Amino acid sequence: MTTELRGDELIARRHLPAPPARVWAAFTSPASIAAFWGGSHATVPANSVTVDLRPGGDFALDTRGPDGTTRRLRFVYVSVTEPHELVFDEPVTGLRTTVTLGPAGDGTDLTVHQRRLPPELRTSQAADGLASILEALAAHLRPPTTTPERSIR
């Protein structure tokens, strides 16, 4: 995983252990968004996530911090190109996020490029937060581990 903060842009890259269609589903399914979006710094109640997957549609969710503070986030889709790219804006700040997926060997190479970051998000803490979300996404996508069956004698 790499993250790069350049002025008003934040770029994160990560290889994920799942095919692009599965990663796409994680970014567009309310249950999956709730499973990873908060990273290690917040939780997202599954019933708070709404998705209207079309240009002009929005998705929204609540994040709940460790202190119990809840914050509503809302984004508007600009472009939806399944299963390769999502572009969405945060209407209050103007932040634009582009999520790009590409097949790569045994999984997917993911790039999250955020542009027009407001000054309060041009920090290493914001970069760490995005990295945490992508780590939670990777954990969500990992195949479940199985334990060998024991024979009964």
Q: Does some domain include residue 121?
A: yes
Dihedral pair phi/psi, residue 87, rounded to 5°:
-125, 125
Q: Does some domain include residue 47?
A: yes
Q: Does some domain include residue 151?
A: no
Taking the C-alpha atoms of residue 49 and residue 17, their distance in angstroms, rounded to an integer, is 24
Please report the pLDDT score of residue 148 as a whole number: 56
Are 84 and 99 a contacting pair, CB within 8 Å? no
Nearest alpha carbon to residue 20 among 78, 80, 77, 82:
82
**pLDDT tens sequence for the chain (153 residues):** 999 999 999 999 999 999 999 999 999 999 999 999 999 989 999 999 999 999 999 999 999 999 999 999 999 999 999 999 999 999 999 999 999 999 999 999 999 999 999 999 999 999 999 999 999 999 999 977 655 555 554
CATH code of residue 123:
3.30.530.20
Read off the pTM.
0.90
Q: Does some domain include residue 152?
A: no
Q: What is the DSSP letter of 43?
A: B
Q: Does some domain include residue 149?
A: no
Q: Does some domain include residue 147?
A: no
Please report the pLDDT score of residue 144 as a whole number: 73
Q: Does some domain include residue 86?
A: yes
What is the domain count for the chain? 1
Domain region containing 10: 2-141
Q: Does some domain include residue 17?
A: yes
